[in-house]
Copies of this chain bind each other. A is one copy, B any other.
Amino acid sequence: MRVATRPSLLSLDDALAQLLASASSLGCTESVSTFDADGRMLAEDVVSELQVPAFDNSSMDGYAVRSSQASWTLPCRLRVPAGHSPSALPEGEAARIFTGAPIPFGADAVVMQEDCTDLGLVDGVPTIRINVVPAKAQWIRRAGEDVECGAVVLARGTRLSPAELGLAASVGMANLKVAAKPRVALFSTGDELVMPGSVAPADMKAGSIYNSNRYFLRALLVRMGCEVTDLGIVPDDLAATKQALSNAAAEHDLILTSGGVSVGEEDHIKPAVQALGELHLWQIAMKPGKPFAFGRVDKTHFVGLPGNPVSSLVTFLLLVRPLLLQMQDTSNMALQAMPPATLLRADFDVPRADKRREFLRVRRNVDGGLDLFPNQSSGVLTSAVWGDGLVDNAAGQTIQRGDMVSYLSFAEFLK
Measured CB to CB, the residues of A under 8 A from B are 1-7, 34-35, 38, 48-50, 52-55, 59, 61-62, 81-85, 96, 98-102, 113-118, 120, 141, 145-147, 153-154, 161-175, 190-193, 195-202, 204-220, 222-223, 259, 262-266, 306-309, 313, 339-340, 342-344, 364, 368, 375, 377-382, 384-385, 388, 409-412, 414-415
Q: A59-B377, A85-B205, A161-B414 are in contact. List 13 more A-B contacts (CB 8 A).
A: A1-B120, A59-B378, A99-B262, A100-B209, A141-B379, A146-B377, A146-B382, A162-B216, A163-B381, A166-B313, A168-B196, A169-B211, A174-B196
Question: If A4-B118, A59-B308, A219-B38 touch, does A169 touch B212 (CB 8 Å cutoff)?
Answer: yes
Instruction: Give the CA-CA distance A381 to B220 in the complex, in Å.
Output: 29
Chain B residues near A215: list those with CB within 8 A: 34-35, 162, 165-166, 168-169
Copies in the complex: 2
| A45: min CB distance to chain B, Å | 14
The answer to whether B385 and A164 touch across the interface, beta carbons within 8 angstroms, is yes
The answer to whether A167 and B59 touch across the interface, beta carbons within 8 angstroms, is no
| A209: min CB distance to chain B, Å | 6
Question: If A83-B192, A215-B35, A380-B145 touch, does A171 touch B99 (CB 8 Å cutoff)?
Answer: no
The answer to whether A381 and B166 touch across the interface, beta carbons within 8 angstroms, is yes
The answer to whether B98 and A265 touch across the interface, beta carbons within 8 angstroms, is yes
Chain B residues near A114: list those with CB within 8 A: 4-7
The answer to whether A1 and B118 touch across the interface, beta carbons within 8 angstroms, is yes
| A39: min CB distance to chain B, Å | 9
The answer to whether B380 and A83 touch across the interface, beta carbons within 8 angstroms, is no
By beta carbon, the residue of chain B nearest A199 is B172
The answer to whether A381 and B264 touch across the interface, beta carbons within 8 angstroms, is no
Question: If A99-B308, A101-B207, A174-B197 touch, does A264 touch B385 (CB 8 Å cutoff)?
Answer: no
By beta carbon, the residue of chain B nearest A342 is B342
Instruction: Give the CA-CA distance A379 to B146 in the complex, in Å.
Output: 7
Chain B residues near A199: list those with CB within 8 A: 172
Question: If A84-B191, A99-B262 touch, does A202 touch B412 (CB 8 Å cutoff)?
Answer: no
Instruction: Give the CA-CA distance A167 to B384 in the complex, in Å.
Output: 9
The 6 closest A-B pairs by CB, nearest first: A174-B197, A83-B192, A83-B191, A166-B216, A61-B264, A170-B212
Contact of A100 among B50, B53, B98, B190 (CB under 8 A): B190
The answer to whether A98 and B169 touch across the interface, beta carbons within 8 angstroms, is no
Chain B residues near A35: list those with CB within 8 A: 215, 218-219
The answer to whether A201 and B50 touch across the interface, beta carbons within 8 angstroms, is yes
The answer to whether B162 and A223 touch across the interface, beta carbons within 8 angstroms, is yes
13 contacts between A and B (CB under 8 A): A59-B377, A82-B190, A82-B191, A96-B264, A99-B306, A100-B259, A146-B377, A146-B381, A167-B381, A169-B212, A172-B197, A174-B196, A409-B412
Question: If A81-B191, A206-B85 touch, does A4 touch B117 (CB 8 Å cutoff)?
Answer: yes
Instruction: Give the CA-CA distance A235 to B12 in the complex, in Å.
Output: 58
Chain B residues near A166: list those with CB within 8 A: 212-213, 215-216, 309, 313, 381, 384
By beta carbon, the residue of chain B nearest A306 is B99
The answer to whether A382 and B214 touch across the interface, beta carbons within 8 angstroms, is no
Instruction: Give the CA-CA distance A54 to B194 in the complex, in Å.
Output: 13
Instruction: Give the CA-CA distance A213 to B49 in the complex, in Å.
Output: 19
By beta carbon, the residue of chain B nearest A147 is B382
The answer to whether B190 and A102 touch across the interface, beta carbons within 8 angstroms, is no
The answer to whether A207 and B145 touch across the interface, beta carbons within 8 angstroms, is no
Instruction: Give the CA-CA distance A62 to B291 in the complex, in Å.
Output: 14
Most chain B beta-carbon neighbours within 10 Å: one of A34, A82, A306: A82
By beta carbon, the residue of chain B nearest A34 is B215
By beta carbon, the residue of chain B nearest A206 is B85
